[in-house]
Amino acid sequence: MALLEIEDLWVRFPGARGPVEAVRGIDLSVGREKLGIVRRVRLGKSCTGRSILRLLPRYATVTTRRAVFDGIDLAHASERDMRRIRGSRISMIMQDPKFSLNPVMTVGRQIAEAYLVHADEASGAARRRTLDMLAAVRIRDPERIYDAYPHELSGGMGSAS
């Protein structure tokens, strides 16, 4: 049985010459495995993920015949339910995560903030856990990276500067 089922997903954005179709009729059926969507650039991969997680801007038009995750109708779930699902049950890693970070917050603070949303712990514990996570993915000098801003990291930071 599928954990995530998407049928006939369309995403449109307003354009100067009418609606721009970013995603056209995608169907997905995913079990409990991890899914990686690989295609050429500008073909709707990120838009598909964001639409499933309901993270697109309000001006986007998203339509689907069916969008169900573990029995939950994602198209009609409350924002509160979506916050419980995002990150803890469904996650998305962007094509270039560095550019998904807030440029005026340190990397560590952003990771810790995301952790605190899903864990009932104090901020000191979140800092320790964030440093552990950075070390686990073999980031050299996790303390320095924790206190760095995204623009201070090399383009290869995803590969552990």
How big is the CA angle at 117 (ends 100 and 86), to the nearest 5 degrees? 65
Domain boundaries, the chain: 4-90, 98-159
- Rounded distance between C-alpha atoms, residue 100 and residue 103, angstroms: 9
Which pLDDT belongs to residue 95?
62
Residue-wise pLDDT tens digits, 106-161: 999 988 988 888 777 887 889 999 999 899 888 899 999 999 998 888 765 544 44
Q: What is the pTM of this model?
A: 0.65
Please tell me the predicted confidence (pLDDT) of residue 29.
92
Which position has the higher pLDDT, 93 or 92? 92
Sign of CA pseudo-dihedral 150, 153, 156, 161: negative
What is the rounded CA–CA span in Å between residue 142 and residue 131?
6
- Name which of 24-28, 39-43, 110-114, 151-155 the model is least confident about: 39-43
Whole-number pLDDT of residue 161: 40
Could you tell me the two tokens for 150? 């995204």
- Average pLDDT of the residues of the chain: 86
Average pLDDT over residues 86-107: 77
Q: Which residue has the tokens 């924790």?
A: 146
pLDDT-derived band of residue 91, with 50, 70 and 90 as boundaries? confident
- Percentage of the chain beyond pLDDT 70 is 87
Whether the per-residue pLDDT at 23 is higher than 90: the answer is: yes
**For 2-13, what is the mean pLDDT?**
95
**Model pLDDT, residue 99:** 66
Residue 159 corresponds to which tokens in the numbers above?
């590969």
Beta bridge mates, 9: 26
